[in-house]
Amino acid sequence: MPLADVRCKTAKGLEKPYKLADGGGLYLLVKPNGGRYWRLDYRHLGRRKTLAFGMYPATSLAEAREKRAQAKKLLEQGIDPSEQRKSDRRDAQIAALHTFKALADEYIAKLEKEGRAPTTIGKKRWLRDLVNGELGSRPIGDVSAQEVLGALRRIEARGLHETAGRARALVGAVSRYAVATGRSSRDPTQALRGALITPKVTHRATIIEPTAIGELMRAIDSYRGVPQVEASLKLLPLVFVRPGELRGAEWVEFDLDAATWSISAGRMKTRRSHRVPLSRQALDIVRSLHALTGDGPFLFPSVRSRQRYMSENTINAALRRIGYGEDQITAHGFRAMAATRLNEMVRWHPDVIERALAHQEPSAVRRAYTSGVEYWPERVEMMQVWADYLDTLRASVSRS
């Protein structure tokens, strides 16, 4: 006779375990402590087996019967329900290990091992977090183009069109990594070409008119603040490296006797090591800074910890304090300033200026022929001429 739910509710523990049968091999096993467990006895390939369906009342009588029906269907197909359950659990465990977040973390860890710059790694993690809400827990192989587009549309809705494009690139990179390592069969972002809003290209603000450069140099000299910030603001125009390369500068990279700053490939955007000749003016700034921060790893440590370098917006904030808006000059704008004025001097070959800027040669053929070419003597001369030129503009803002 089938079980009634009231009998399941009122079943009490006795001295020994006992069974309340429901039929078809399903029964409620009542233990001495009062615990009530659903079990299904069945035979497969001549062997008697038992399958557990959970505890009552967390698993109701109706749910236990449904599980019995599912097990019977598997047996009719010649499938052992116990083995199927183990297989399902393995698949679930594999799926948990192969989620988008898990693969994204693995991919980013790979980039770290390859020596990618900390700033780059930080940006990758930030982009991962932007899409994790929609994609993070999804098995990487099941992520659809529509799901990715939904996550990117949410970023676009905040007006972050360029960020949405970068997030798409990260999802694509993670997906291709999953394909390469056998965890997925496709990259869903390939179907999204043209689906996102194309951001309006805005060039970083800079100042290139000589009189205005002189005024800027004088304004920089007037800045009073945290010493390392003051030094960074004065040094950046002289070396015109990327702001992140300056902020992360380490004392071990500097040979003051040789007037050389050597930046490792891991800290460079181009993934190529880069040497910067230091002018007399740049050396003076670095030497004066050594007395303040030379006991730590970084030239420009954070005000909160000497074990970390200053934040990304520090130099831009200093420029705002001396009266220059983001539409006038940014930390990155000093590169365009130097490139423009140095090219207009027509004194050095463009390749010398490009190498000083650590630009990546777009042509693969030219890259092969110019690999390792530094134009060092020309660059040493050029950096000193540039520093002297800035001094001239600083001293007389009316001269060009």
Q: Which residues are part of the catalytic machinery?
A: 242, 269, 332, 335, 359, 369
Nearest to 302 by CA among 338, 346, 248, 340: 248
Is the separation of the CB atoms in 213 and 341 below 8 Å? Answer: yes
In order, the DSSP letters of 95-162 are HHHTBHHHHHHHHHHHHHHTT--HHHHHHHHHHHHHHHHHHTTSBGGG--HHHHHHHHHHHHTTT-HH
Residue 140 vs residues 53, 108, 155, 169: alpha-carbon distances, Å: 30, 15, 20, 15
Is the separation of the CB atoms in 263 and 306 below 8 Å? Answer: no
As given in the structure block, the two tokens for residue 317 are: 């904030």
Contacts of 286 (CB under 8 A, 6+ apart): 235, 254, 256, 278, 299
Contacts of 152 (CB under 8 A, 6+ apart): 131, 164, 167, 168, 192, 196
In order, the DSSP letters of 167-205 are HHHHHHHHHHHHHHTTS-S--GGGGGTTTSPPPPP-PPP
Query: How many CA atoms does the CB half-sphere of 110 hold within 13 Å?
Result: 11
